[in-house]
C-alpha cells in the first residue's frame, strides 16, 4: 500500500504486546511472522500449516510457492529467524486450542467463523492489525503493508545489500525495492557529518558571529 511506513524494533515490540481477545494468538502470529519474512498480505493469508510446520517443528526456510505470489511466476524462499519460528509455534498452539489438532492442509490463518477451511480475509487482517497499532499508541500511516516494509527496511540496514532485499521481497525491479527502504535520515546525517574536510570551521564561524554582534552593540551604544 502506497504511503505506509515501516516500523522500528521498539514499535514492533509495542505492537507485539498489544494483541488481545479470542484471536490474539492468530493475529499476533500474523504480525510477528509478517515482519520476520516480509510476505505480501495475500501471500501470508495464502499459507497453510504445512508450509510452516514440518517434521513436528517450525521451518527455518519458508517457501512462498509461485501459486500464491504476485504474478504467480516465481517461487521464493526466505530464511525464518527466531522471531518467526516463535510466531509459528504460537500459531500451532492456536490451532491445537481451536481445532484440537495440527493439520498440514488447514489454512495457517483461518477465518473467524470457519473450521479452518477458509482463510482470513485481508480486510479482517487489516482490522486486527489496526486495533493493535492503535492499542500500542502508534500513529502515521500503518497498515498490513507496514509489516513487509519493516522487513525490507531492517534487512537492508543489516545487510546494506539492496539486491538481497530485492530477492527476498520478490521484486522484479530494484527500483521498487528502493522505494520500500526509503532513506534512513539518521544515517544520512551521520554520513554528512563524517564528510567534514576542515574541522573547527563551525567554531570559527561562531566566533565571527559573536564578534559581529559585539560590534553591532558597540555601534548602537555610540
Q: Which CATH architecture has domain 9-181?
A: Orthogonal Bundle (1.10)
Residues 6+ apart with CB under 8 A from 100: none
Q: What is the pLDDT confidence band of residue 221, given thresholds at 50, 70 and 90? A: very low
Joined grid coordinates for residue 137: 499508541
Closest by CA position to 166, among listed 151, 180, 156, 177: 177
Task: Map residue 2 onto helix, strand or coil.
Answer: coil
Looking at per-residue confidence, does 214 or 12 come out higher?
Answer: 12
Query: At 48, phi and psi to the nearest 5?
Result: -115, 165
Query: What are all long-range contacts of 88-92, with beta carbons under 8 Å and residues at least 24 apart?
Result: 88/29, 88/33, 88/52, 88/53, 88/58, 88/59, 89/58, 90/25, 90/28, 90/29, 90/32, 91/25, 91/26, 91/29, 91/33, 91/52, 92/49, 92/53, 92/58
Q: Quick one: the chain helix, strand, coil %, rounded to 5?
A: 60, 5, 35
* Average pLDDT taken over every residue of the chain: 89
The pTM of this model reads 0.82
pLDDT at 116: 80
pLDDT at residue 132 greater than cutoff 70:
yes
Looking at per-residue confidence, does 201 or 101 come out higher?
Answer: 101
Joined grid coordinates for residue 222: 555610540
pLDDT at 220: 41
Give the separation between CA 176 and CA 169, rounded to whole angstroms.
Answer: 10
How many other C-beta atoms can be found within 10 angstroms of the C-beta atom of residue 75? 13
Query: H or E segment at 28?
Result: helix 24-37
Amino acid at each position: 500500500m502506497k504511503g505506509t511506513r515501516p516500523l522500528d524494533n521498539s514499535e514492533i515490540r509495542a505492537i507485539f504486546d498489544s494483541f488481545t481477545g479470542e484471536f490474539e494468538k492468530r493475529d499476533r502470529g500474523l504480525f510477528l511472522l509478517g515482519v520476520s519474512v516480509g510476505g505480501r498480505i495475500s501471500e501470508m493469508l495464502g499459507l497453510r500449516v504445512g508450509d510452516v510446520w514440518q517434521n513436528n517443528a517450525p521451518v527455518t526456510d519458508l517457501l512462498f510457492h509461485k501459486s500464491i505470489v504476485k504474478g504467480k511466476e516465481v517461487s521464493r524462499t526466505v530464511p525464518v529467524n527466531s522471531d518467526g519460528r516463535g510466531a509459528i509455534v504460537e500459531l500451532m498452539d492456536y490451532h491445537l486450542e481451536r481445532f484440537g489438532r495440527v493439520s498440514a492442509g488447514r489454512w495457517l490463518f483461518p477465518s473467524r467463523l470457519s473450521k479452518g477451511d477458509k482463510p482470513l480475509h485481508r480486510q479482517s487482517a487489516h482490522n486486527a492489525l489496526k486495533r493493535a497499532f492503535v492499542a500500542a499508541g502508534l500513529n502515521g500511516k500503518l497498515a498490513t503493508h507496514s509489516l513487509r516494509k519493516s522487513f525490507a527496511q531492517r534487512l537492508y540496514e543489516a545487510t546494506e545489500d539492496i539486491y538481497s532485499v530485492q530477492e527476498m521481497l520478490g521484486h522484479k525491479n530494484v527500483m521498487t525495492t528502493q522505494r520500500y527502504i526509503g532513506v534512513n535520515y539518521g544515517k544520512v546525517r551521520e554520513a554528512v557529518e563524517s564528510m567534514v574536510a576542515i574541522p573547527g570551521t563551525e567554531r570559527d564561524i561562531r566566533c565571527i558571529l559573536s564578534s559581529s554582534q559585539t560590534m553591532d552593540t558597540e555601534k548602537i551604544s555610540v
